[in-house]
């Protein structure tokens, strides 16, 4: 991370502020290279199938290229899906899953690709991606300890969490370097892969998905609002709830990021606590939180629209 912070200009990985940015000036990005290095080291030393970590490495290097030069969604998404397929094939082979599980690979590939992009889209203010990565790591390790799952997967999750912890001082409270696609897409891919790897039932899947609840909730509600307003979902924007809180409402980045992390931990721990009551109970719990987030997001959007009207008409 320190290398990217000092030599970002030479490496050509820079983020120049524009009308969609939540920062000012020019800041190096690609700090996620450190997270990638930690992942590759941990994965290569584990008994995981090489196809698993090579697939994630391929996606990460693709993302690093995207940090230097824009790649259109028409090219990026198919390549990400290919990477997801490779990850799943390696994972299922290593776990020795029966052949019916392989029939679900296309659906899981879409889930992993979507999660990776959601994580990337939500990485828009200082600290939010790093804090989320730390909380996810802790929740997955807790889930694994309670479930008695593979130490290799827990080691990988813990390694990613410590890598995010090492990144935070460079990004919070004031950013000296951004994580970039190479970091955020990587975290989303690994998290999605761990969800699939650790799920032994639909109940497990719901519980594990709850660990990224704020990102899923913000992205899904924002997509609905943009579709309702006739916007192209493939075009960049600044309409996420976290962006409105940090930009239009002027709340410090670190406060928003910590708030999302606290919500993530509360929902994740809550899902773990009621896990034994069955899938319907967990789904209802998450549905209630989603409705609550929807209501909060609607209030934020109404509030920011009112502030914009006051500013436009010059009212006090």
pLDDT given for residue 234 in this prediction = 78
Task: Render pLDDT for 179-230 as a digit per residue (tens, 0 to 9).
Answer: 888 889 999 999 999 999 999 999 999 999 999 999 999 999 999 999 999 9
Residue 132 in this model has a pLDDT that exceeds 80: yes
Q: Rounded to the nearest 10 degrees, how much is the dihedral formed by the CA atoms of 293, 295, 299, 302?
A: 110
Per-residue 3-state assignment (H helix, E strand, C coil) for the chain? CHHHHHHHHHHCCEEECCCCCCCCCEEEECCCHHHHHHHHHHHHCCCCCHHHHHHHHHHHHHHHHHHHCCCCHHHHHHHHHHHHHHHHHHHHHHHCCCHHHHCCHHHHHHHHHHHHHHHHHCCCCCCHHHHHHHHHHHHHHHHHHHHCCCHHHHHHHHHHHHHHHHHHHHCCCCCCCECHHHHHHHHHHHHHHHHHHHCCCHHHHHHHHHHHHHHHHHHHHHHHHHHHCCCCCCCCCCCCHHHHHHHHCCCCHHHHHHHHHHHHHHHHHHHHHCHHHCHHHHHHHHHHHHHHHHHHHHHHHHHHHHHHHHHHHCCC
| Residues spanned by the domain of 197 | 2-313
Statement: the pTM of the whole predicted model exceeds 0.75:
yes
pLDDT given for residue 50 in this prediction = 85
d(CA 122, CA 219): 8
Considering its fold, how many domains does the chain have in total?
1
Task: Give the pLDDT band of residue 44 (cuts 50, 70, 90).
Answer: confident
Report, as an integer, the average pLDDT of 10-32: 54
Task: Give the pLDDT band of residue 10 (cuts 50, 70, 90).
Answer: very low
Task: Render pLDDT for 149-171 as a digit per residue (tens, 0 to 9).
Answer: 777 888 889 999 999 998 888 87
Residue 245 in this model has a pLDDT that exceeds 70: yes
The chain-wide mean pLDDT, for the chain, equals 86
Task: Give the pLDDT band of residue 306 (cuts 50, 70, 90).
Answer: confident
pLDDT given for residue 21 in this prediction = 47
Residue 9 in this model has a pLDDT that exceeds 50: no
Query: In this predicted structure, which of 22-31, 238-247, 266-275 has the lowest mean pLDDT?
Result: 22-31
pLDDT given for residue 41 in this prediction = 84
């Amino acid at each position: 991370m320190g290398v990217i912070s000092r030599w970002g200009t030479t490496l050509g990985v820079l983020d120049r502020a524009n009308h969609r940015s939540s920062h000012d000036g020019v800041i190096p990005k690609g700090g996620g290279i450190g997270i990638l290095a930690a992942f590759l080291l941990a994965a290569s030393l584990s008994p995981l199938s090489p196809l698993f970590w090579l697939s994630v490495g391929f996606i990460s290097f693709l993302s690093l290229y995207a940090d230097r030069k824009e790649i259109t969604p028409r090219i990026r998404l198919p390549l990400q899906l290919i990477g997801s397929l490779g990850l799943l094939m390696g994972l299922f082979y290593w776990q020795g899953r029966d052949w019916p599980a392989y029939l679900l690979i296309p659906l899981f590939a879409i889930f992993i690709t979507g999660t990776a992009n959601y994580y990337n889209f939500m990485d828009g203010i200082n600290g939010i991606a790093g804090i989320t990565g730390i909380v996810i790591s802790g929740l997955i390790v807790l889930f694994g300890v309670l479930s008695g799952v593979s130490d290799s997967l827990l080691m990988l999750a813990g390694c990613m969490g410590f890598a995010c912890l090492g990144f935070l001082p460079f990004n919070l409270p004031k950013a000296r370097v951004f994580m970039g696609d190479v970091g955020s897409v990587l975290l989303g891919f690994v998290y999605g892969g761990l969800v699939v790897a650790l799920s032994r039932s639909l109940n497990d899947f719901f519980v594990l998905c709850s660990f990224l609840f704020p990102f899923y909730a913000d992205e899904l509600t924002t997509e609905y609002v943009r579709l309702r307003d006739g916007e192209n979902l493939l075009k960049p924007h600044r309409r996420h709830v976290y962006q409105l809180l940090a930009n239009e409402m002027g709340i410090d980045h670190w406060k928003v990021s910590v708030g999302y992390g606290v919500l993530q931990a509360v929902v994740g721990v809550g899902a773990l606590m009621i896990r034994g009551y069955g899938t319907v109970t967990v789904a209802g719990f998450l549905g209630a939180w989603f409705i609550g987030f929807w209501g909060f997001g609607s209030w934020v959007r109404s509030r920011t629209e009112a502030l914009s009207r006051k500013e436009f008409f010059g009212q006090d």
